[in-house]
Amino acid sequence: MDWSRHRVLVTGAAGFIASHTCQALLARGATVIGLDDFDAYYPRPFKERTLAEIRKTPGADDRFAFVEADICDATAMNQLFSDEQLTGVIHLAARAGVRPSLEQPKRYAQVNLEGTTILMEAARRANVKRFIMASSSSVYGNNEKVPFAETDDVSSPISPYAASKRACELMGHVFHHLYDMEIACLRFFTVFGPRQRPDLAIAKFIEIIRRDQTIPMFGDGTTSRDYTYIDDIVAGVVASYEKVPDYGYRIWNLGGNDPVNLKEMIATIGRVLGKEPRVEQREMQAGDVSRTYADLTRSTAELGYKPTTSFEEGVRRQWNWAREHLAG
């Protein structure tokens, strides 16, 4: 694909996954319009630093523009789509995070479902057909069958966040059916690496261990996650943008293919930091699923997706980045 002909709106650009996606698109020669509203879910300075890293990417001076706006502002979104000659959208902005969604279900429904719908509607009006959106492994809820495949039943989410992501997938199907839009829903499995959201476990535990504090471990340590390194996720996002016209509407799992349980996760971080973690067991939290594990058969066959970074190597890279960039 000739990326130099593409002008892509990337939402959530000051966030973790979208910032790496912007850099990958710039490296391929695309023009990128990054959009973010610096949602207060985690501190603005963290996001400003993320944005500054995008601006240092070769090509960013000429081919990267940033817009501060809220995806729920329909007027602003319609204006943006009519001003910019976009070829596609990679929509990664969201209220992310499972546990806080129990406190603020309405906010999650607004930003995730209403915001996504506003964006799809703005894209439809501007005749922008290609639309990639972030979904989540959380849509699988506590399904017993592993690994989780795209064809599995996902009618039993267990958090407002998970339900909002499934609702976006369904609304995506509507826009494909009615307007022939090319829609991909990417079910990300716990993503980690440099610039990871500070509320996520690996980033939090790195900070706790480096300060010799005690890690609160929810449950008995046997819950597991199919952690996925950021570069692998971004490769899948880019491939989905290239391939979605062949499918019209498609859901793809993007996982790490190597679930790690919580105890092993903590031990690995300790090993990488060269410290013995101190752990205090707490009760399992409501809304948390017991395990995630991606079946990658479809994404490997259709996207050529193949994660290559091991968990320990990824943690090492995240630690090297945290050591350099976060106040110690």
Ligand X SMILES: NC(=O)c1ccc[n+]([C@@H]2O[C@H](COP(=O)([O-])OP(=O)(O)OC[C@H]3O[C@@H](n4cnc5c(N)ncnc54)[C@H](O)[C@@H]3O)[C@@H](O)[C@H]2O)c1
**Active site residue ranges:** 161
Q: What is the largest CA-CA distance in the chain?
A: 56
Site for ligand X in 176-205 (CB under 6 A): 188, 190-191, 197
Dihedral, CA atoms, 125, 131, 134, 140, nearest 10 degrees? 100
**Of residues 31 and 292, the one with the C-beta less far from ligand X:** 292
* Helix 262-273 × helix 311-325 angle, to 10°: 50
Q: Which of 6, 10, 12, 143 touches ligand X by CB under 6 A? A: 12
CB 120 within 8 A of CB 130: no
DSSP 326: S
Number of H helices, E strands in the chain: 13, 13
The three-state secondary structure class of 199 is: coil
Helix or strand (DSSP H, E) at 9: strand 7-11
Q: Are 165 and 287 in contact (CB under 8 A)?
A: no
- Candidates 10, 33, 47, 224; binder of ligand X (CB under 6 A) is 47
CB count within 10 Å of CB 68 equals: 13
Site string for ligand X, 61-90 (x = CB under 6 A): ---------xxx------------------
Closest contact distance (angstroms) between CB of 70 and ligand X is: 4
Residue 274 CB, shortest distance to ligand X, in Å, is: 26
User: Min. distance of Cβ 178 from ligand X in angstroms?
Assistant: 23
Among 57, 136, 292, 299, binds ligand X (CB under 6 A): 136
* Amino acid occupying residue 132: I
Q: Report the residue number, 6 or 197, with the smaller CB distance to ligand X.
A: 197
Q: Which two tokens stand for residue 143?
A: 């399904």
* Under rule CB under 6 A, residue 259 binds ligand X: no
Q: Does 94 bind ligand X (CB under 6 A)?
A: yes
Tell me if 140 contacts ligand X by CB under 6 A: no
Interface with ligand X, residue 238, by CB under 6 A: no
Q: Which residue, 18 or 209, has its beta carbon nearer to ligand X? A: 18
The whole-angstrom separation of Cα 223 and Cα 96 is 20
* Contacting residue, 9, 26, 37, 51, with ligand X by CB under 6 A: 37
295 is a site residue for ligand X (CB under 6 A) = no
* 93 contributes a contact to ligand X by CB under 6 A: yes
Tally Cβ neighbours within 10 Å of residue 293: 22
Q: Which is nearer to ligand X, 228 or 246 (CB)?
A: 228
Q: Which is nearer to ligand X, 2 or 227 (CB)?
A: 227
Please choose, from the candidates 10, 3, 20, 40, the residue with its C-alpha nearest in 3D space to the C-alpha of residue 194: 20
Peptide bond into 147 cis (omega under 30): yes
Q: Which stretch binds ligand X (CB under 6 A): 14-22, 148-156, 209-217, 261-269?
A: 14-22
The backbone region for 12, taken as left when phi is positive above 0, alpha when psi lies in -120 to 50, beta otherwise, is left
Angle at 93 between CA 90 and CA 95, to 5 degrees: 150
6/95 with CB nearer ligand X: 95
User: According to the binding rule CB under 6 A, does residue 10 interact with ligand X?
Assistant: no
Interacting residue ranges for ligand X, rule: CB under 6 A:
11-12, 14-18, 36-39, 41, 47, 70-72, 92-96, 111, 115, 134, 136, 188, 190-191, 197
